[in-house]
Structure 1
């Protein structure tokens, strides 16, 4: 299993938070994110390591870092798993473009991601799992889906001579007959809305031989020039969605408390990851599906494909205090789409300075209670920051609020 990064200090704070209310995309409602057995489980989709961490990534991981912090303050144990998609088309294409080995590129970018998360004070996952470490159990899961009649083979004319010559697809219609999953349950999209998104985000609706245009790939037969592994379902490599389903099941059990990621993963990735997990277990994949909004820059969603990236590592190299970067992101509600501007970081650094140099006061715990209440209601970090701003304007920061800022917002005032 891959090594994550160091755990930040989490101070003890008097009192406790309530279990947070978190927006669930499947029910379109706020739901109490409370585990049944005292241990909250969280799965957040990780990076495809072909470029450095940008602020869109950081925004997502800070959202679920905030959730972990509120859970811990509410007295829950937390078990957190995150994957690394260290074999996928974007990684292979970037490595070929740059003339480097795909494994070396992945290792370099994973190390950079670790450094960025450490600098930002993000709580690391308990299980940080590379897809290439779970090829065999993923192939076994695909074989189980075949045996259960919820997967099928499609001839692949361009498969390499050493493979079985077939790709394996998930049968969405059959899966709905044997599990609680239904197409559209999380995204609440119609088929007409799904099709263009599916094509844009890695799907192949026009593939000959599929039973349904929206059926996703489970296993890609070996092709010449591509990495592949021998397996119970032939030489090849996993599809995108089954990887996360298998890692989540292996590390967290049948139904996770929260399945999270960026809002661009709602469909098709989380929709079909949940489908695969439910078809394997007969249970719901998650109690809550939570998603962070997109960060734009210069009028477009920040993305590697567009190249309009503001990278955490570059901000750090320019001398930016990581606490300021963190505050700039926390100034926006995690579910909102918003745009990074040249004023974002200076405003956050000014706020950090006001907080750091505020005198020590005593308000009887009122500001700490208000901070907790803001985060209880769907992790409302802008409201939480406003609580601290109000306390500073009123005369200063009580010691217990300073501890709460460090625990719940991840900002060490020093």
Structure 2
């Protein structure tokens, strides 16, 4: 298995620190607002990494943190006139609801920053004792980047260039304009915890270093997150963790690409910023799985373009997979076909999900051929294979009939209306009133209902 390692800038052969066990840390959310589709892109990408590693037989210890204290949280709680815990509890609940709807598995551990204050203080003290950090004149504890020779190795940034672009005038407490905060001295009215350097709270970067150390140890296998976290967040994590422990920290660094909206980068300033729940409840998706399929249809490292056309294409492609499974009972066991080899080959190549989906589509075509040839045993075996492989991507989790009969947007015809019209059409055909039968079929078609007449005289339907 090859994984593109941001630390080396190439695909490296995957290996683990401990045989058959993967220890994996992915940066989670700051819980003060609703999750957007950029969050969904990252969480789905690493959910698939986790699922495939488990499919390959690894035991995966998957940690995804929650940042429940920072400047944005403090400001939002004050604006709302509520407590910080009330705010963060509510948006943690909303986050779980959104991710559950997208089929994202809950992590093995989901630590909160406020639950790891003791570890954060201990790591900060280690860095001070080793000469990598200092207490500044304003009471903050700062990391001295000049003391860590490897600083910039992940992002490829040069320290002198960073200094040249820094605003020294507003950062007088820093020894070096590139230094960053480990512990913030509390301002009046802010939440705080006692520490050897006075009342305060953790800086953002130190949280992940302390939590990963506590739950995964000083050397683990995979650290993941969005491309926007590579610098400064992940760069600072490396500097802190390696300096404090003297160990390797993460072997593989994985970063997912950005989401564009109609070929423009998603941002609040452009008003093209979409929350997950707004997309799922917009009436433009048949099922949340359509959004997941769309996100999986591009390789995780590249950008992905969100548009209504792309969503419609994802709906059609996923619908074809479900249609292949219709009227087929998957076998309890199957002999893997060439499609499984192609699927695994694609996923072993840095989780190439587009090629993996192509293998699923080939299976769907073969199922349809087996059904047409009347080979129920072969169709059943291939259906079981399709379900298993699709499950690795978190797809095909609904019953085919239930998925296909869901509509997009508000429909003028209920399920009961459709069944009645199908009954009326059947009666018209039995009475050889083919003009009326055709009229009913056209009425259903105009309402987005596709009929499929079976050789045994029954008719099934799906919403188009």
Tell me if TM exceeds 0.5: yes
Select the residue among 163, 173, 192 that pairs with 2:146. 173
Aligned to 2:436: none
Shift of the alpha carbon at 1:316?
2.5
Shift of the alpha carbon at 1:259?
0.6
CA distance in 2, matches of 1:398, 1:192: 58
Shift of the alpha carbon at 1:245?
0.2
* Worse overlay, 123-132 or 315-324: 315-324
Aligned to 2:151: 183
- 2:120 matches 1:138: yes
Aligned to 1:332: 298
Aligned to 2:403: none
The 3 A distance-change label for structure 1 pair 364 and 407 is closer
Relative contact order: is structure 1 or structure 2 higher (C-alpha 8 Å, sep ≥ 6)? Answer: 1
Within a 5 Å distance, the mapping from 1:176-255 to structure 2 comes to: 176=149, 182-191=150-159, 194=162, 206-255=170-219
Select the residue among 28, 32, 54 that pairs with 2:9. 28
Q: SS of the residue aligned with 1:22?
A: strand
Shift of the alpha carbon at 1:205?
8.6
Q: SS of the residue aligned with 1:227?
A: coil
- 2:88 matches 1:120: no
Within a 5 Å distance, the mapping from 1:282-321 to structure 2 comes to: 282-298=246-262, 300-303=264-267, 308-319=272-283, 320=285, 321=287
Deviations 1:231-273 (Å, cap 9, x if unpaired)? 2332100011110000000000111201100000000000011
Shift of the alpha carbon at 1:196?
8.9
Select the residue among 298, 317, 322 that pairs with 1:351. 317
Aligned to 1:388: 360
Aligned to 1:412: 397
The 3 A distance-change label for structure 1 pair 126 and 266 is same
Rg larger for: 2
Gaps of 5+ in 1: 1-19, 157-165, 177-181
Does the 8 Å contact 1:331/1:385 carry over to 2?
A: yes
- 2:87 matches 1:87: no
Within a 5 Å distance, the mapping from 1:141-152 to structure 2 comes to: 141-152=123-134
Bigger proportion of residues as helix: 2
Gaps of 5+ in 2: 369-381, 400-464
Shift of the alpha carbon at 1:288?
0.7
Does the 8 Å contact 1:259/1:290 carry over to 2?
A: yes
TM-score normalized with structure 1 length: 0.85
TM-score normalized with structure 2 length: 0.76
CA distance in 2, matches of 1:374, 1:363: 19
Deviations 1:327-356 (Å, cap 9, x if unpaired)? 010111111112211122222111121101
Q: SS of the residue aligned with 2:74?
A: helix
Aligned to 1:163: none
Select the residue among 224, 227, 244 that pairs with 1:260. 224
CA distance in 1, matches of 2:77, 2:263: 28
Does the 8 Å contact 1:205/1:214 carry over to 2?
A: no
What is the alpha-carbon root mean square deviation over aligned residues?
2.3
Aligned to 1:377: 349
CA distance in 2, matches of 1:324, 1:62: 13
Select the residue among 279, 300, 315 that pairs with 2:243. 279
Aligned to 2:57: 75
Aligned to 1:13: none
- 2:79 matches 1:97: yes
The 3 A distance-change label for structure 1 pair 197 and 267 is farther
The 3 A distance-change label for structure 1 pair 192 and 48 is same
Select the residue among 401, 404, 407 that pairs with 2:386. 401
Shift of the alpha carbon at 1:221?
0.3
Does the 8 Å contact 1:42/1:256 carry over to 2?
A: yes
Select the residue among 339, 344, 351 that pairs with 1:367. 339
